[in-house]
A and B are shown apart, each in its own frame.
Chain A
Amino acid sequence: MTAAFLFSAITLPLGCLFFAAGSIGLLRLPDLFTRLHALTKADNLGLGLLICGLLPWVESPWQGLKLVLIWLLVLLAGATGAHLVAKRALRGDGEDLQ
């Protein structure tokens, strides 16, 4: 069993666990804002761990960079999306809230 295998054997299931925690939070938490907490933070960490776990197995450095780029874009989209959803809800000017 190599070090890379061991590393991925820890990070990949842990990443899945955080995705599960994010989804459980979505179901268990009472309101929009607390649900956003669970989704942004747990999913960001879950995806980060999945990508770390996949990095030792890429065929070329470009593929590794592409994985890191995906993580950065999801991070940016997640944080921006959470902020926009929270802002609309706070100001009460979302279409679905009228």
Chain B
Amino acid sequence: MPAIVHRHWTTVLARGALFSLLWLILAGTDPWSWLIGLPSVALATHASLALSPPRRRRPRVLALLAFIPYFVAQSLRGGFDVALRVLAPRPRIAPGFIDYHSRLTDPAARVLFLDTVSLLPGTLGADMHGQRLRVHAIDTGVDVRPELIALEQRVAALFAREGHG
């Protein structure tokens, strides 16, 4: 199946280039650093392919560029929110758990969702069984579901398959 072999090699090259860039950032521009850098990049690429095999997925550059400002804004809101809560004369908290059924099916998308939930104001991604997420809320008086749904839609846009948007 030549098409799949072709895809495989473009994945290898793309990941190799990414790890080379990381090495360049870490080690600087001294050419001798590649004595260690080249084997490291080769091993990292091998490990990456073993842990996350190439899939039929188109890189969603525009979706990623749209995700970054949202991510930064949520980090700011989340940080301010929790700082104000703990600095109040009596910490303003009413903690509790919320169960959320996620519509994300891609495992990588679910992990990204769970990790970024922890950066939204007031929520912490605690546990995950398949599509059932257990979220810890620092203030159960605030309805966080609309925010979870908004985040889920953005993560879904990042991981949309070919032909689905």
Contact = CB atoms under 8 A, between A and B. Distances in A.
Interface stretch (B1-9, B52-60, B81-89): B81-89
Contacts of B95: 31, 33-34
Contacts, number: 106
Interface residues of B, number: 36
Given A33-B95, A62-B24, A86 B86 contact: no
Interface residues of A, number: 35
Q: Is the interface of A mostly helix, strand, loop or mixed?
A: helix
B130 interface: no
A83 B114 contact: yes
A21 B86 contact: yes
B136 A33 contact: yes
Interface of A: 17-18, 21-22, 24-25, 28-31, 33-34, 36-38, 40-42, 44-46, 48, 62, 65-66, 69, 76, 79-80, 82-83, 86-87, 90-91
14 contacts: A21-B83, A30-B91, A33-B95, A34-B91, A36-B118, A41-B79, A41-B119, A42-B82, A45-B80, A83-B126, A86-B125, A90-B126, A90-B134, A91-B127
